[in-house]
Amino acid sequence: MPMEIQQAMRGTSPRAALVLGQDLPFWYPINAVLTALQSGVKVNIQVDNDSDFEWRACIANSTGLFSVTLTNNYIKRPLMPTPVNGENIAGTAQQPGFLAVPKRLARTSVIQAEFTDRSNAGNTIQFCLQGYKKYSQQPDANFIPNVLGYRKAISHVYMPTVEDLATLRGKIPYWWPLFDGSIGAQQAARSKFTAPDGCYVTHIVASSAQAAGFALQVFDTERGEIMEDSPAVFPNHAGSAQRPFWLKKVYRLPSNGQIQCRVINLATVANAVQVVLCGVRD
C-alpha cells in the first residue's frame, strides 16, 4: 500500500507515516521530438476519466536543453506567462522538481506543453507530471506537503511552515520568469513584470549558460524596497528545479505592482540567464 511521510505536525512534533489508502502513484508522460531550435511544438495529455490527479512534481529527461510553457486547458489558464527553461521547472526521479503546493487536477483535464529547443540540435524530450490518482472525491483531511529527500533534516526546516503552505491549497501552480535574456560580457541588464492580485512566491530558481554566473538585485515597487544590500551572486540567491532556494516565509507579490530586477553578467563572454520566481496564484 502506498506510503508517504507526512510532515504536517505542529511545532517540533515528530513526523508521522500516513497511509494514503486508495491513492495510486502515477506518472503522466509528455513526449516530444524537436529539430534544432524548433519552437511551438504542442503536446497534450489528458487526465484519465477514472480519477482526479494530485500533481506533486515535474520530472524530465532530454537529449538537450529546452524550454516549455504549460497550460491547463480545462480552466483555460497558462501556468507561466512566458516559457521556462527545463532546468528551472523539472528535476529528476532522484530529485524531482516539487510543486510547493500539490495541485489536484480534475478528471479529463487537459494539460498542454509547448516546447522549444535550446540545444541547436535534435532533441528528444520526456516531461512527466508525477503524483497520485485520487479515487475519492472527498478532500484530504490533512495537508500533506512534499518531503525534500536530499535534505538530512526534516523538510520544514528549509521550507515555509506547513500552516503557511496549507493556506495556499487550491491555488494554481505558477512560474514567473523575472529575467530571461542574454547579457553581454560583464554587462548589466534590467527586467520587470506586473503581478496581478493573489500571487505568492515560495521558492526561487535560476539558470546560467556560463559557469561564472551572475549577480542579482530585486526591487519590490509596492513596498519600495530593494531585497539585497548589494547584488547577490547567483548561487547565493537561487537554486535549480532539483534544489530550489526555498523562502522560509511565503512572499506575497505586490498586487498590480511591479517586481523589478537588475542582473549583472559575471562572465567574460555573453551569458544567457533566466531567473524564475515559483509559487502559486489565484
Give the CATH number of the domain where residue 117 resides: 2.60.120
Cell numbers that stand for 52 in this block: 482526479
Clarify whether residues 8 and 145 are in a common domain. Answer: yes
Clarify whether residues 132 and 22 are in a common domain. Answer: yes
In this structure, the strands spanning 172-183 and 84-85 are unpaired
18 domain residue, yes or no: yes
Alpha helices in 123-237 (DSSP H): 162-166
> For the domain that residue 249 is a member of, what is the CATH number?
2.60.120.230
How high is the pLDDT of residue 23? 87
For the chain, what is the mean pLDDT?
90
Clarify whether residues 136 and 211 are in a common domain. Answer: no
How high is the pLDDT of residue 136? 83
Does the pLDDT at position 21 exceed 50?
A: yes
Give the whole-angstrom CA distance, residue 118 versus residue 38. Answer: 8
Give the whole-angstrom CA distance, residue 103 versus residue 171. Answer: 7
Clarify whether residues 7 and 52 are in a common domain. Answer: yes
Clarify whether residues 23 and 127 are in a common domain. Answer: yes
Domain hosting residue 140, numbered range: 3-151
Residue length of the chain: 282
62 domain residue, yes or no: yes
How high is the pLDDT of residue 142? 83
Clarify whether residues 137 and 85 are in a common domain. Answer: yes
Give the whole-angstrom CA distance, residue 34 versus residue 19. Answer: 41
Inter-residue contact 160 to 222 (CB < 8 Å): no
Clarify whether residues 131 and 258 are in a common domain. Answer: no
Clarify whether residues 182 and 270 are in a common domain. Answer: yes
- pTM, two decimal places: 0.89
Clarify whether residues 9 and 39 are in a common domain. Answer: yes
Q: Which of 26, 15, 20, 16 is nearest to 2 (CA)?
A: 20
- Residue 46: beta bridge partners? 110
Domain count of the fold of the chain = 2
Does the pLDDT at position 34 exceed 50?
A: yes
Give the whole-angstrom CA distance, residue 99 versus residue 153. Answer: 20
Cα angle 274, 276, 282; round to 5 = 150
157 domain residue, yes or no: no
